[in-house]
Amino acid sequence: MKHDLGAHELIPREEILSRIVNLQRRMEEKEIDLALLVQNVDLFYFTGTIQNGYLLIPQGKAPIFFVQKDYGRTVLETPLKCFKMNSFKDLPHHLREHGLEGKRTGMELDVIPVALFSRIRDLFPQWEISSISDEVKELRSVKSDFEIRQIKASGQIITEVFSRVKDHLREGMSEVELDGILTSVGRSLGHQGFLRMRGLNQEMMNIHVLSGETAAISPFADIPMGGCGVTPAIGQGSSLKKINRDEPVVIDYGGGYNGYVTDETRVFVLGHLKDHFQRAYRVALNILQATEAFAKAGEYPSRIYERAVEIATREGLAENFMGYGEAKVSFVGHGLGLEINELPIISKGGRRRLQPGMVFAFEPKFVFPGEGAVGVELDYIVREDGLERVTRFPKEIVYV
């Protein structure tokens, strides 16, 4: 039914089966004999659907998806064996019937709430439960060709949306007004509607339009800039502030296509920009170029981070780099995929080598307190011989 309505492509059957096999291999290394997955994003990755249910992946046997709702949609979307479950309480019975009696069981302990965990614990007192979150996140960090295609389609939405900014940016309009127009452009191109970020309290908006001082407000989230938002209840994003001439308008936009998130930033100006902003922007582009000149599969994220800090420091911009004062963050890039906070993290502590197929957003940004911010964000695919850009290299600041 979904196909008739022009929905995005399903994950190929072979791909889902190979993801399952890869997880089973990790389970074997960790001596886990059964995995129980419930988070919708992980379900999508391993089944192809986010319909509501419990995915059981045993060691060395075929997985079964126990579906609560909607069964009819689920069987259209996943190649896996499905079983229709009426009540959560029947799960032990169904597992026994299907020979899925694990002992060492892995669960997504980074996201499962205590109350749900306790209910599961009560149903399966014999289980020794440990976390399988890291294994899932590491697997998901290396993207297949199919995934890269979705990410590129997601990036195309970004390119198109940024190309339209000059048609809509006007002096005196509010940040939220431009936010709404650009969100609408993205949606009309088939943007999936929202972006996911893993974890409690992790909220992500489609777009941040930050002009002048709002870009320099310290964010509560672990990001270099977050904006003011229209209410302390949200505390991030575009605000009711009017956009003025001669101030940097930083637009951070997330594409969303078939589940896959991209995340890029560009700077626009009505009129002219003070020299120190222009200079900092060029340093951001230099950091991008310097990174492209050496980063590739096998490189340590920590080296990429350190090189970026080195350049910022050499240019006298160390204290503005990646936030100011106590709001400074300790990374310059983050993995992208079905969630916006995936592995790898391009940070000082990043000691696990980049692998081919990893995808990350790289975002050298400079914050000037009370004044504003400039910077760029570009998404990269890690290849054996270098970094492949998901979209085009950013131009100079766009003067409208």
Q: Which stretch binds a second copy (CB under 8 A): 47-55, 138-146, 305-313, 354-362?
A: 47-55
Task: Give the DSSP letter of residue 54.
Answer: E
Site for a second copy in 174-203 (CB under 8 A): 174, 176-177, 179-181, 183-188, 190-194, 199-201, 203
Total interface residues for a second copy by CB under 8 A: 85
Choice from 24, 39, 105, 347 touching a second copy (CB under 8 A): 39
Rama region for 167: left / alpha / beta (φ>0; ψ in -120 to 50; rest): alpha
Site for a second copy in 148-177 (CB under 8 A): 174, 176-177
Site for a second copy in 261-320 (CB under 8 A): none
Cα separation, 315 vs 318, in Å, equals 8
Element (H, E) at 200: none
Cα separation, 33 vs 27, in Å, equals 7
- Least Å from the CB of residue 91 to a second copy: 16
Cβ proximity to a second copy: between 235 and 356 the closer is 235
Kindly state the tokens that stand for 1: 């039914």
Q: Which stretch binds a second copy (CB under 8 A): 13-21, 89-97, 255-263, 301-309?
A: 255-263
- Least Å from the CB of residue 264 to a second copy: 19
Site for a second copy in 107-136 (CB under 8 A): 107, 109-118, 131, 133
Place of tokens 């949609």: 73
- Least Å from the CB of residue 186 to a second copy: 7
Interaction between residue 75 and a second copy (CB under 8 A):
no
Residues 6+ apart with CB under 8 A from 236: 203, 205, 208, 219, 220, 221, 226, 227, 228, 229
DSSP codes of every residue in 280-344? HHHHHHHHHHHHHHH--TT--HHHHHHHHHHHHHHTT-GGGBTSSGGG--SEEEEE-SSSSSEEE
- Least Å from the CB of residue 97 to a second copy: 21
Choice from 166, 234, 289, 298 touching a second copy (CB under 8 A): 234
Site for a second copy in 8-37 (CB under 8 A): 8, 10
Cβ proximity to a second copy: between 180 and 386 the closer is 180
Contact yes or no for 256/194 (Cβ under 8 A): yes
Site for a second copy in 332-351 (CB under 8 A): 338
Going by C-alpha positions, the residue among 9, 38, 44 that lies closest to residue 107 is 38
Cβ proximity to a second copy: between 60 and 125 the closer is 125
